[in-house]
């Protein structure tokens, strides 16, 4: 058994530490958002089967949020982990407020952010009920509220830790100044940020600060919202209620330029005898043992493909080849629509 790995049933999965406070999770987690929201198509039975298969394969780190659904994703996770609580590290979030779905879009638009202490406490209680658990393992502020000092928000999160309702705290898409101030108020175990071959934003400023402070990075959308798998060949491949139809990188000329990059990554992956998505995940895993990607899927087959990427080694030569094909900043288009870019804390 390799160093740092633990046997879970018949599966062996490397474990990684997030932060210096004692949080340990599987080296690859499972993003659960798409099971209930954003990407079109719902199948509760398959989603629950996928969650159970993840646990059987040693993937114990499940990522959700009260904003996913809204609310229904936490309920789904709660149903899936009933009777299995000891196998799971549950991460959820608060802070994104959403309206009812707009006509024809199929998904509920984000209307604002809230980090007020009373809101933090009420969200935690509601998430605990939906998840059917007594304590949230990792509780994130989903987006930073620019109207509320981060010390006030984190102070409320720290109170939840003291009360035994939360074990560890995290932030999502926070800038370096916010990270420093938050960590000074209470130790932050993890920052969740989009990070992948085509979203390299954390590398310049955020990752160095995380490593200085001893905070782990949880990489969401490590497959570029599915684009890096090579499965999408046209903007029309997404369902009509799929969020990606509103994302600049998935639209028109941007899509076609980005597809050229993915085709070149696919060629490198083919030379290794693996799928392009596996190469993309292996690349993220190779960036440091303090980084945990959480690829999202709602199907067991894709889950198994993703998990297999944990055993893929990427050589220095291959890293150089990937860097030449897809250097930082090479993706065309913003990673969010303008209406959502304003929620990022920079």
CA dihedral (101, 103, 106, 107) in degrees, to 10, reads -30
Q: Which two tokens stand for residue 20?
A: 């210096």
Burial 307-338 (b: 16+ CB within 10 A, else e): bebbebebeeebeebbeebbeeeebbbebbee
How is 113-177 classified by DSSP, letter by letter?
E---HHHHHHHHHHHHHHHT-S-EEEEEESS--TTS-HHHHHHHHHHHHHTTSEEEEEEES--HH
Distance CA 326, CA 328 (A): 7
Sheet arrangement for strand 23-26: 5-8, 11-18, 23-26
* Matching residue, tokens 């007020």: 116
Q: Which two tokens stand for residue 297?
A: 């899927």
Strands 110-113 and 136-141: unpaired
140 is an active site residue: no
- Cβ atoms of 309 and 285 closer than 8 Å: yes
Angle at CA of residue 281, ends 44 and 13, nearest 5°: 75
Which residue out of 68, 195, 302, 336 is catalytically annotated? 68
Question: Cβ atoms within 10 A of the Cβ of 339, count?
Answer: 11
- Cβ atoms of 185 and 158 closer than 8 Å: yes
Angle at CA of residue 15, ends 12 and 17, nearest 5°: 175
Distance CA 292, CA 139 (A): 16
The residues annotated as belonging to the active site are 68
């Amino acid at each position: 058994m390799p160093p740092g790995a633990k046997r879970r049933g018949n599966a062996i999965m490397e474990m990684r530490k997030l932060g210096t406070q004692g949080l340990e999770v599987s080296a690859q987690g499972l993003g659960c958002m798409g099971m209930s929201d954003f990407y079109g198509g719902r199948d509760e039975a398959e989603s629950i089967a996928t969650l159970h298969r993840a646990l059987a394969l040693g993937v114990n780190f499940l990522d959700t949020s009260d904003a996913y659904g809204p609310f229904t994703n936490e309920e789904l996770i709660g149903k899936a982990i009933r009777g299995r609580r000891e196998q799971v590290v549950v991460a959820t979030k608060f802070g994104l407020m959403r309206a009812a779905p707009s006509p024809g879009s199929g998904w509920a638009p984000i209307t604002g952010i809230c980090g007020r202490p009373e809101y933090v406490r009420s969200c935690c209680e509601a998430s605990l009920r939906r998840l059917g658990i007594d304590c949230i393992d990792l509780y994130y502020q989903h987006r930073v509220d620019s109207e509320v000092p981060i010390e006030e928000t984190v102070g409320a999160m720290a109170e939840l830790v003291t009360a035994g309702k939360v074990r560890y705290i995290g932030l999502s898409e926070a800038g370096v100044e916010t990270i420093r101030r938050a960590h000074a108020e209470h130790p932050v175990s993890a920052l969740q940020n989009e990070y992948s071959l085509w979203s390299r934003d954390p590398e310049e400023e955020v990752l160095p600060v995380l490593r200085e402070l001893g905070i782990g990075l949880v990489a969401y959308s490590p497959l570029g919202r599915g684009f890096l798998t090579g499965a999408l060949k046209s903007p029309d491949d997404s369902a009509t209620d799929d969020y990606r139809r509103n994302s600049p990188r998935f639209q028109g000329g941007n899509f076609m330029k980005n597809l050229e990059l993915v085709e070149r990554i696919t060629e490198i992956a083919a030379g290794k005898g693996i799928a392009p998505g596996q190469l993309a995940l292996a690349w993220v895993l190779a960036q440091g043992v303090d980084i945990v990607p959480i690829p999202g899927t709602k199907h067991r087959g894709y889950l198994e493909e993703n998990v297999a990427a944990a055993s893929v080694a990427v050589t220095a030569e291959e890293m150089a080849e990937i860097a030449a094909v897809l250097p930082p900043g090479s993706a065309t288009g913003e990673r969010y629509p303008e209406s959502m870019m304003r929620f990022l804390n920079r």
